[in-house]
Structure 1
């Protein structure tokens, strides 16, 4: 979804990770919850939760570099060095088909004692599927040591920011013909972990390695280690390589500040800090060069290439140099672990200090307080364990309310018409002493009272969208109905405390029998949903129809006509007859209309409008933008087909004008998106719905957001080289002047980074936040009227909510500068 970084990352004391956008209907269980193939040790998990410095350690150095029991001794020494310097070691490896972050002493012994086992795997990124998902010929699970690349992947998944190791892989000599380039380099280009090593192994092509890292966008520097001026990038066994280092780093504090700044900007690449071997252990450059040339000749004759090349060459160098290289090897690894731990400690302090500063200016969240619900609008839960959640929220303070003109004082640009609800989250708590007495029950018992932590928050799709737009900086008015009850009063108070206008909120009379919408979730002790109850009848039940109709005429329509907002957002909680009235009113004032489908069942209400309000097609389409997830898109497509909308002549005229070949555009769609989405039919369904909805943003969870839209005839994007890759088709039947169709723009916004699973607190409101932020920016229009200009920022806003206890993260105020 996101390609460019932004300062929203500084809203968490830990680095922000790859954007993981959850659709509002799909439960996406994350790897943070220990699974059958991924385990984070309790010590490491607790350390990460407490923001203590954790240092990742690889295992190929033990499984493929040192014999047993020397490797076990080295592993023990390195772990001790981390602890001695104030950190927590996280030794990473594959044991019995399970990826472990934080191997215990017994587990480490089991792994390294099998170092000579021919089945012992060397695990890089490409190998995880095989190592964790398959078995050997005897049906046994695999074991493996993780390389730098493999360790980076698992460290990043766990949330570890610093990794200390021996030597970095690189571009092999003669790579112009062999194409032998270490996966370590590409991993550094896409995984934001800081790697401390002694530079490249000297038998590699160091200048080309540095050039490759530059191309990958990897920050590279070398510790000065007391030296002044420029220094060489080290060559593993020797302090000097003859190749100047791109940057020089004075000390561990400066390294920590570099990492911190890198993460605050949300950059997706890693960092490599080279630490020269201690001077007393540095070998002669001439001696090592002679040994390397001899080892390379032997490797060539033996045909050792690819993954086999490095261990073969290292063994030959050991034979040539005797124990000198072995002693140097151990000394440099220990030096890197010492320095890496000091960097991690300094980084942890930086993050903790920044967190304290933010908490000092944290605004009160009033009714929408910490502990908001952990469920989607459809009642699907997101699993969150207490250890995965920060004990205190650390938002960036929003601008003071006095600097933001109230929507009561001017005509708002955005109207949001939809549901406003009170959400109650009831999290079962194990009674004191329960586990000690043998009670391991994690779920509430039936037919009795259970101890719980109950939190209350404002919710409802319309309410969430409006709140997100308001926090981003839009002038917004929420139009919704509440009952004359305690929940209704709480909702009004909550809006007022958030400095949001209540002019559009209508309190329906008690005699109408209307009740404020409420959603109650009962969760187990892990905050997984056990059961949920929803009362949303106030907007769409048959009994409420007369009251809602009168309220529309007397309360909402006059406000809409007087304010003439540029943008109107509708959610699908309205009954079809009320949706029709809102659509007509929005069209009458020429507002840009967005539609949030809410759920699979409610998404189809657009196709049940009264006959005199049937959906028109482009260029007269009433709805300009819809934001379904993939399931809602499928439901909308199926409903349109079953209702005969694809049999209409006006629909076919627009489809024909899009320029899609009669044989279909499967190849073009796969190039614009990916084969998986095409196999699911998502791009195809989007295109067939375009005549009724000229722009569709489909939320695809971990796969990103797919924007499909009709470009009008004459649009400059149709002939621009910058946009050529996104043009799926162009009108070729000569109807540009009559129908105004220029072509189809299709663009998949991939997630630039997966949010660490332990940072995911609740998926409730994530999709609503996306739409609210998107519309807020479009209404301001500083980047023009092109939707694609605003998708990435909307997703950044969604990520903040993904990592928030609330259905809309209050830290969205930090993004106000964008609009």
Structure 2
């Protein structure tokens, strides 16, 4: 789309694709050209496989795939879809191969490429798109979504590097229509041959003519086929998610007692916090309509929850955290688990009597938050009793992160337990109202890290002083914000090791009980090794090319920093890790986009921090 490879499109982008002039059909060979020239178009199965694989998506659904064209043994006209299946580990769910192609030679070619080909459902015959059987046996037969998911899981686990093609037959109630369409295809095939139509022009010509002959029935059947494939494909993807999550849980259990050379248990970071589904409404116009009337805009659904976002970001950066949370046994909970298949969600509590937390927010045309509503009742079920089941994991963790969504008594329990076991605790305040939860008792003195924005820091300071005296105003300059933050942070540094103050577009201010270049605190060995030295460093934000939403930026900043801290990176590397992750979040409508990865963090930008007096 305008020279960018987009994985998933919004409604407006789909509309643009149908209306743009001269769209290209992009296969592997065309992607680099399309990007370099700023072109717009749709991807073939081959092109989609490349994009989906790079985005970490293991399964995708299409209508049909390309193949060996009739006479291909002479013309060498073979679709790039087939070679792509031989070198990209994706599972492609389709209605088989259209009869306009040479089906037996296509199956032979796939065998040569090492592609696993399976028929789905009651029949072992490979489907031919509009008809349930091509007359040719598939090499493999999977009868249900679970069987297909297990096949895909083994293919991924073995790292064979090749793909899987699963053929789903046309639904029985469409079989009769499909046969009529098949007869029309035979007629049009002869027409194309007589007119000398060849290569990539054959398929569009045949589809258009068949649609004319069948008076639109072929288009209706096409749509029904894709819907059926999507239904089957989503069930396979869900089963694959369950399988891979269970494997992650088994690996965690198996290595729970792993030790390092010095005899200490080797643990994973632990994140405890909220999980929710986010409904994000973005207003297009700069003028907002209040009361009667509707604001034109777009609505996006994504995953959220501060704890979930932090754990997601850490996972994408290779930190592999154990995540403790609660969701409902409902469709939103199923979606959350399915879209979090790259994370270890095996310890999340799934509850029958509660609905999955939902957060709805409205953003202005600049991506800034206007108002938000949250149904977070289920967070009350992240109880000390639930968390205490994982005391062994907590005890061996290099660091524990908690968010403000969890109950106050759970915060107190975690702080007390970690203090007794010399484990650093990071508190993510979540919002102004929840920022003071640890400060309702002395448990805040057991925190090692806290990451408020300026308003949350003021709220904490006011709560500790017992009166609202902090004169913060939005119009403050950056220097005024930093001066105030340093003053307020010094009161917290009597007990807390590090205060990370987020400054929005102005970056981050880090105040801590250590020299500016000293590594951040991690593990139990240095927890009490604080010094009389203090430092305050301002780290400017990484420049973002565009701004879509700021709602996940703070969570990704924390997740990126934590990922760097647990791998014991330098202070500068930890901060860059967080700021680059925050930038990726700002540029996406997803709170934690797949663009956050160890790969995107490998090339660090030119960047300068500034040390301040404290």
Normalising by the residue count of structure 2, what TM-score does the alignment of the two structures yield?
0.51
1:441 to partner: Cα distance: 9.9
d(CA) in 1 for partners of 2:427 and 2:362?
30
The aligned residue for residue 580 of structure 2 is: 796
Contact 2:401/2:427 (8 A) holds in 1: yes
1:457 is aligned to 2:297: no
2:360 counterpart of 1:509: no
Residue 778 of structure 1 and its aligned partner are, at CA, apart by 1.2
Gaps of 5+ in 2: 6-15, 21-32, 60-88, 91-154, 160-243, 257-266, 469-476, 519-527, 604-614
Alpha-carbon contact 1:407-1:475 (below 8 Å) kept: no
Find 1:709's aligned residue among 512, 523, 529: 512
Alignment-derived partner of residue 747 in structure 1 = 537
Question: Which residue in the other structure is 1:677 paired with?
Answer: 481
1:495-506 matches, within 5 Å, as 495-496=340-341, 499-506=342-349
**Among 587, 591, 594, which residue is 1:807 paired with?**
591
The Cα shift of 1:428 comes to: 7.1
* Pairing of 1:453-602 with structure 2 (within 5 A): 454-496=299-341, 499-510=342-353, 514-522=354-362, 532-540=372-380, 548-549=382-383, 552-553=384-385, 555-562=386-393, 564-602=396-434
Shift of 1:579: 0.7
The Cα shift of 1:744 comes to: 0.6
- How far has the Cα of 1:474 moved from its partner? 0.9
In the alignment, structure 1 residue 686 sits paired with structure 2 residue 489: yes
Shift in Å at residue 352 of structure 1?
A: 6.5
Deviation of 1:674 after TM superposition, in Å, equals 7.2
- Contact kept in structure 2, 1:444 and 1:524, CA below 8 Å: no
Partners of 2:580 and 2:345 in 1: CA distance: 27
Cα pair distance change 1:409/1:525, threshold 3 Å? same
Aligned to 1:363: 55
Q: What's 1:349 paired with? A: 36
Match of 2:456 among 632, 651, 664: 632
Q: Would the alpha carbon gap of residues 577 and 806 (structure 1) be closer, same or farther in structure 2, given more than 3 Å must change?
A: same
Mapped contact 2:497–2:530 kept (Cα < 8 A): no
Q: How does 1:387-402 map to 2 (within 5 A)?
A: 402=157
Change (3 A) 1:414 1:643: farther
Structure 2: distance between partners of 1:441 and 1:634? 31
String of CA shifts for 1:753-786, please: whole Å, max 9, x gaps: 5324xx11111111101111111121122x3xx5
1:623 aligns with 2:447: yes
Match of 2:564 in 1: 777
Larger Rg: 1
Please give the residue correspondences for 1:13-92 in structure 2 after superposition, counting only pairs within 5 Å.
none
The alignment yields a C-alpha RMSD, in angstroms, of 4.5
Residue 421 (structure 1) aligns with: 276
CA shift for structure 1 position 487:
2.1
Show CA shifts across 1:628-647 (max 9, x none). 11111111122122289xxx
Kindly state the Cα deviation for residue 794 of structure 1 after the two structures are TM-superposed. 1.3
Structure 1 residues 428, 597: closer, same or farther in 2, change over 3 A?
closer
1:573-598 deviation line (CA, Å, top 9, x unaligned): 12221210121233344322111011
Task: Please state whether the residue corresponding to 1:742 is helix, strand or coil.
Answer: coil
Cα pair distance change 1:685/1:519, threshold 3 Å: same
Which aligned pairs between 1:222-233 and structure 2 lie closer than 5 A? none
Report the Cα offset of residue 509 of structure 1: 3.5
Q: For the residues of structure 2 that align with 1:773 and 1:461, how far apart are their CA atoms?
A: 13
Q: 1:642 — aligned with what?
A: 466
- 1:492 match: secondary structure: helix
Q: Which moved more, 1:587-596 or 1:792-801?
A: 587-596
Residues 357 and 378, structure 2, Cα contact 8 Å, conserved in 1: yes
The answer as to whether partners of 2:359 and 2:372 remain within 8 angstroms in 1 is yes
Instruction: Tell me how far 1:806 sits from its aligned partner.
Output: 0.5
Give the direction of change, closer, same or farther, for the CA distance of 1:361–1:808 in structure 2 (3 Å limit): same
* Structure 1: distance between partners of 2:280 and 2:479: 39
C-alpha displacement at 1:704, in angstroms?
1.8
Shift of 1:558: 2.4
Judged with a 3 Å threshold, the aligned counterparts in structure 2 of structure 1 residues 422 and 674 are, in CA distance, closer, same or farther, namely closer
Q: 1:589 to 1:495 in 2, by over 3 A?
A: farther
SS in 1 for 2:457: helix
Alpha-carbon distance in 2 for matches of 1:580, 1:471: 29
What residue number does 1:23 align with? none
2: distance between equivalents of 1:810 and 1:687? 37
Q: Which residue of 1 aligns with 2:251?
A: 409
Q: Which has the higher contact order (CA 8 A, sep 6+)?
A: 1
Deviation of 1:360 (Å): 6.5
**Mapped contact 2:563–2:574 kept (Cα < 8 A):** no
* 2-structure distance, mates of 1:401, 1:425: 34
Q: Retained in 2: the 8 A contact 1:483–1:515?
A: yes
Post-superposition offset of 1:359: 3.6
Tell me the secondary structure at the aligned position of residue 748 of structure 1.
strand
Could you tell me which runs of 5 or more consecutive residues in structure 1 were left unpaired when the two chains were aligned: 1-11, 15-45, 51-345, 368-396, 431-439, 541-546, 617-621, 645-672, 712-716, 724-737
The 1-side partners of 2:51 and 2:434 are apart by: 40
TM-score (norm 1): 0.39
Q: Is it true that 1:696 corresponds to 2:499 in the alignment? A: yes
Separation in 2, partners of 1:422, 1:414: 24
SS of 1:810's equivalent? coil
Distance 1:584 1:749 in 2: 32
